[in-house]
Structure 1
Amino acid sequence: MISLNFSLILQKITHNYTYRSNHTMKNIKFLFLYLLILAFASCSKDSNSPDNPTDFTPKELTVFCINDAHGQLDNFSKIKQIVDKERESTNVIVVSGGDLFSGNPTVDNHPEKGYPMIDVMNKIGFDVAVLGNHEFDYGPEILKDRMEQSNFYWVCANVDKGTTDIPEPFEYKTITKENIKITFLGLIETNGKKDATIPSTHPWRVKQFHFDRPEDIVSLYSNVKNEEESDIYIALSHLGYNGNDQILGDVQLANNFPYFDLIIGGHSHDKINTKVNGIPIYQAGSNLNYLGKISVTIVNKKIESITDELINLNTYQEYDSELKTTIDGYNNQDYLTEVIGVSKRDHNTSMVGCFYTDALRIQMGVDVCFQNTGGIRSNLNEGDITKREIYEITPFSNGTVIYEMTVLDIKKFLAGSGSGFYYSGVQIQQADQEIEIRNMQGQRLSDDTILKLGLNDYVPAVYDKYFPESGQVQNMTDAETVISYLQNINNQVDYPVCDRYFRMK
């Protein structure tokens, strides 16, 4: 259209020049140059300005998403069948919203920690994953191995590898599927410790990294879509759905940084399908129970229409037989199926908290034990207890450590941490704003009484201000300690009632 208009204008100039002899050639040249500049300016505006669209061809894209899989493998054979079938008819991209690791002994206790998870994802053909907080649970050396094993991209804008040897994740990555350019910006939460900017993982395992608060850096990427000339700009978020004035969640991301066409989230284990500030936000539950499917029609770099489906993988029947065989091979390992005890009843997580703290206290030979509630990740069913079940209860491979502390210091820890803990070896109660600690015979302990405290090393790493600078580091993880207790001291687990939980009110 521009070429035609320009031609018509030139014809008009020539006509005027023919019939008006007072128009000099200089004037014609000036007009020609002026119109030429206008033509180029118009071409530039038409190709770059959203107000002057140049491509109205609809582009179809299907995005499959998981988040917070936590090592669960079984349903990946179903995901592969679903994804492969969809690839036959449209453009497909497959993404992870973080937390691939920690939660399944098949993955977490494999001789190469985490290896089965990445192997299965490679076989499906994942395209991109954001780093989640539990990606750091194995430590930087193993994370390096898993990232190098991956055939997909890792993104995270608010982490720097620091002095580690891991491959630096992309801040954002643009992936092209046929004629569609999709850009992903990765973000991770940094709420793991009150006085530090780290994700919710073992603080000692991220000492070499540098993290930024996500809210401090998102605005740096406001123009990425234009710079990359992308059709769609997606935040691949491991922030959690809803934060607050101090914590950035997906809701706050959409309200305060509305640069994205779509937000795919993780971390809070929610099933989310909503719009905030006009931006669609999705999250697909946790533990690979669901697969998110988002179908998008894009016209001129804008979402024209969007539909979604949350596929229940536990009821879905079809699967890829070859991948299922691979997964079955990973699951059937003798070191996980060994029977080491008997559970006399079904135990919920609070009952397991009592069993766990008793087992650590007795096996470590200490006076008292504490355990954070988030560190108990599974129930214990009635019947035989296998090693796998203990690894499921406490999957993080935390070390164990012994401290000598006064009762007063323990009270400061309980009051100052603001958190709740299961405990063993003492009786604890609150009277007004005072904490009372008694021995098992009910005798009140004075503040200067010294007790041996044994626990997993995650707790003193997070609440380090309340613990001595060093303790007696033990040679077993907390899971190994519980297993040893069942094998050598007491293989019967029976807690019909348990009320050993304390949180300062």
Structure 2
Amino acid sequence: MNKLKFLYLLLFISILASCSKSSDAPNSPEIPEDLNPKHLTIFSVNDVHGQIDNFSKIKSIIDKERESTNVLVVSGGDLFSGNPVVDNHPEKGYPMIDLMNRIGFDAAVIGNHEFDYGTQFLKKRMEQSDFAWVCANVDMQNSDVPEPFEYKTITKENIKISLLGLVETNGKDDGIIPSTHPWRVKDILFERAEDIASLFSKVKEEEKSDLYIALSHLGKNGDSNLANNFPYFDLIIGGHSHSKLSTEVNGIPIFQAGSNLNYLGKISLTVTNKKIESISYELIELNDINEYDSDLKTLIDEYNNQEYLTDVIGYSSRYHDGGMVGCFYTDALRIKMNVDVCFQNTGGIRSSLNEGNITKREIYEITPFNNGTVIYTMSVLDIKKFLRGSGSGFYYSGIKIEQVDRDVEIRDLQNNVLDDETTLTVGLNDYIPAVHDSYFPDNAQIQSMTDAETIISYLEETSNQVDYPICDRYFRMN
């Protein structure tokens, strides 16, 4: 065989091999990974406020979903303050985090009530957590509290999710803090969400994420503003306003799952090429669910079995709504603290009072924040300035208050008008002067008991039944 024929033979064999390889290949080209649909289910809770009973049902629902798809579990903030089993545990808040760890939560945004126990306990609860805490507009500074992630990227098999955390900062007219006790966040720096959100506009691109979610504790209006002004997010999962919410603003879906663990939000997503192809939402009413995780329910029952909370300390002759409780609260503090006047902010009354025996649990539910108590000596003029300038409404006891044109008139219980120079002792929970500090003097007498402990002590010492058929002792300057 001459050299030329040999070269033709090699060329022929090469062509045959190439054709053979081509015929074995698939008819359609391989689809890039980002073009394959990716499926995810997100379960969310918000504004749980210490309520733990339905966690056993949540675990059952989530475990079943994990058998068939990728699952992400998140909290929209305010895990604490509202259940004495959690709030009065020797390690405040411990049962809440323990149960969330066992369920397998992935992330939680810091809510305003996460600061209610003070920095010492927040530090412990964050260190206890097996999930990520996110909040971009807080700097823990020298508080010893671990710094949360500004955002956290979590991968669930083939889908990558970035979560940015934001907390509201409407706790003080002349400051930038969340709606919590100002003295408990004095070593922490906050920024308004709208001042820093633009810094995180490129997170999705930088992290190469399939989804970018705002895990928000800004409330319904805050989430709408976020969607309108910072449209970087694929969706927003919110909290703070206790809303049952499934809406869309500026093309961005916004969800919120009620409060007090009565509901579980379920978001089902299909993502293709980093965009939401389909999305559906279900608000699961947990009180209608019968299936539960038996092991977790046993643990919850153990946490709930605190005998001291069932101690009977008084009797309520009727059902009292929040307004009626406001009158009872201020009377109890005024009498027990032996002062002339008592005020209570409406937001500090967190529960009604049922007819029948009153237990310690009920008082801790009415006022769950472990606020201290203080006594001030103030002139009537100082009290008027506080009522005119605070912009808030208060229940009160010991005086009569009426608005006259743009002024405030204060009378004693015998209906005598009190002149501006008259001095009165004012007893109240220490949250009020902490928020409205410019209206209170520096002569505070700090008391040894919290407001809840003061009311419990009052009930234990009186033989009178609690009976407030109406409450007409509320004032807010118009």
Does TM, scored on the shorter chain, surpass 0.5? yes
Q: Is the 8 A contact 2:377 2:443 kept in 1?
A: no
1:114 matches 2:93: yes
Partner of 1:410: 383
Task: Report Cα offsets for 1:454-495 as digits up to 9, x if no partner.
Answer: 000000000000001240000000000000000013452011
Partner of 2:107: 128
Partner of 2:416: 443
Q: Is the 8 A contact 1:134 1:201 kept in 2?
A: yes
Task: Report Cα offsets for 1:164-223 as digits up to 9, x if no partner.
Answer: 111110000000100111000000000000010000000000000000111010000000
C-alpha separation in 2, matches of 1:151 and 1:324: 20
SS in 2 for 1:314: helix
Partner of 2:11: none
- What is the aligned-residue RMSD (CA, Å)? 1.0
Letter in 2 for 1:261: D
The equivalent position to 2:333 in structure 1, one of 345, 355, 360, is: 360
Letter in 1 for 2:178: P
The equivalent position to 1:156 in structure 2, one of 135, 142, 146, is: 135
Partner of 1:235: 214
Q: Is the 8 A contact 2:330 2:396 kept in 1?
A: yes
Query: By how many angstroms is 1:98 displaced?
Result: 0.1
Partner of 1:295: 268
Q: Is the 8 A contact 1:187 1:239 kept in 2?
A: yes
Partner of 1:483: 456
Residue pairs, 1:374-413, within 5 angstroms: 374-413=347-386
Percent identity over the alignment is 75
C-alpha separation in 1, matches of 2:293 and 2:34: 38
Q: Is the 8 A contact 2:373 2:430 kept in 1?
A: yes
Q: Is the 8 A contact 1:241 1:251 kept in 2?
A: yes
C-alpha separation in 2, matches of 1:100 and 1:294: 20
Q: Is the 8 A contact 1:274 1:280 kept in 2?
A: yes
C-alpha separation in 1, matches of 2:307 and 2:453: 16
The equivalent position to 2:39 in structure 1, one of 60, 78, 81, is: 60
Q: Is the 8 A contact 1:368 1:452 kept in 2?
A: yes
SS in 2 for 1:493: coil
Q: Is the 8 A contact 2:380 2:419 kept in 1?
A: yes
Letter in 2 for 1:137: D
1:186 matches 2:165: yes
SS in 1 for 2:100: helix
Partner of 2:14: none
C-alpha separation in 2, matches of 1:198 and 1:55: 41
Partner of 2:74: 95
C-alpha separation in 2, matches of 1:71 and 1:108: 7
Task: Report Cα offsets for 1:403-454 as digits up to 9, x if no partner.
Answer: 0000000000000001100000001111111211111111111110000000
Partner of 1:499: 472
C-alpha separation in 1, matches of 2:198 and 2:401: 48
Letter in 2 for 1:236: L
Partner of 1:199: 178
C-alpha separation in 2, matches of 1:147 and 1:338: 32
SS in 1 for 2:90: coil
Partner of 1:143: 122
Q: Is the 8 A contact 1:485 1:491 kept in 2?
A: no
Letter in 2 for 1:104: N
C-alpha separation in 1, matches of 2:326 and 2:257: 28
Partner of 1:370: 343
Partner of 2:403: 430
Task: Report Cα offsets for 1:256-301 as digits up to 9, x if no partner.
Answer: 1000001000000001101111100000000111000000000011
Partner of 1:325: 298
C-alpha separation in 1, matches of 2:190 and 2:320: 38
Letter in 1 for 2:172: K
Letter in 2 for 1:142: F
Letter in 2 for 1:411: K
Give the direction of change, closer, same or farther, for the CA distance of 1:323–1:54 in structure 2 (3 Å limit). Answer: closer
Residue pairs, 1:32-71, within 5 angstroms: 55-71=34-50
Query: By how many angstroms is 1:73 displaced?
Result: 0.3
C-alpha separation in 1, matches of 2:241 and 2:459: 33
C-alpha separation in 2, matches of 1:172 and 1:434: 49
Aligned length: 448
Segments of structure 1 that go 5 or more residues without pairing to the other structure are: 1-51, 243-248
SS in 2 for 1:55: helix
Query: By how many angstroms is 1:125 displaced?
Result: 0.4
Partner of 1:220: 199
1:345 matches 2:324: no
The equivalent position to 2:279 in structure 1, one of 295, 306, 309, is: 306
Q: Is the 8 A contact 1:53 1:300 kept in 2?
A: no
C-alpha separation in 2, matches of 1:133 and 1:375: 14
C-alpha separation in 2, matches of 1:478 and 1:470: 19
C-alpha separation in 1, matches of 2:404 and 2:434: 29
SS in 2 for 1:415: helix
SS in 1 for 2:105: coil
Letter in 2 for 1:289: N
Letter in 1 for 2:420: D
SS in 1 for 2:220: coil
The equivalent position to 1:270 in structure 2, one of 243, 246, 264, is: 243
Give the direction of change, closer, same or farther, for the CA distance of 1:432–1:252 in structure 2 (3 Å limit). Answer: same
C-alpha separation in 1, matches of 2:394 and 2:465: 23
Segments of structure 2 that go 5 or more residues without pairing to the other structure are: 1-30
SS in 2 for 1:275: strand
TM-score for both structures, normalised by structure 2: 0.93
Task: Report Cα offsets for 1:203-260 as digits up to 9, x if no partner.
Answer: 0000000001110100000000010010100000000011xxxxxx000100110000
